[in-house]
Chain A
Amino acid sequence: AQSVTQLGSHVSVSEGALVLLRCNYSSSVPPYLFWYVQYPNQGLQLLLKYTTGATLVKGINGFEAEFKKSETSFHLTKPSAHMSDAAEYFCAVTIGGATNKLIFGTGTLLAVQP
């Protein structure tokens, strides 16, 4: 069965600093991996996804993530945090197929300090 672990329920960075949000997954078959962002009082928006091919995936707002099969990780990074990045971030995995259920991590709340 698949599962997702996000290390750190709260992460705080200074504006301009590197953002690193960790995600590890468990899956018996090659997974599809997603990062979603949730701004306050809003729904979930896709940041980026990995399906096949290039393991370094670039998303919106300057975020990127690297699929590392040997480490079963899909960490999200951004070189320089902006105040507008403050939000909750969810990593999710699916093995696709007919049901295509997304399995979510518990989320990481990112705070950006001025």
Chain B
Amino acid sequence: EAQVTQNPRYLITVTGKKLTVTCSQNMNHEYMSWYRQDPGLGLRQIYYSMNVEVTDKGDVPEGYKVSRKEKRNFPLILESPSPNQTSLYFCASHPLGGSDTQYFGPGTRLTVL
């Protein structure tokens, strides 16, 4: 089954404790991205990657890192989480091409205390 998976689905952590949210897709898509969803703001892009070893900032990259060492995986790293990073995070993937549908993972709800 074609899908995007994220882990963990739920995470509660404390300020400053490094964490990684994993994202994996099995559709051989070139393009992957991370979004955060906040009430009243919709979804905003954090980082994206157009292929292995090619990443770039989205609209709200501060406080986040990403890597793309393999085509299928695109982890999101919070080196020193802060409470303003409490949010719902989504990973997405699609083949390169403007009209192609982006496929979203199930989301990771992060709470930073």
Contacts and interface: CB of A to CB of B under 8 A. Distances in A.
B74 interface: no
Interface residues of B, number: 28
A49 B101 CA distance: 8
B48 A101 contact: yes
A32 B98 contact: yes
A45 B104 CA distance: 7
A106 B42 contact: yes
Contact of B97 (A42, A46, A96): A96
Interface string A97-114: 111111011110000000
B105 A101 contact: no
A46 B107 contact: no
B98 A95 contact: yes
Contacts of A100: 31, 94, 96-98, 100, 102
Interface in B39-60: 40-45, 48, 50, 56, 58
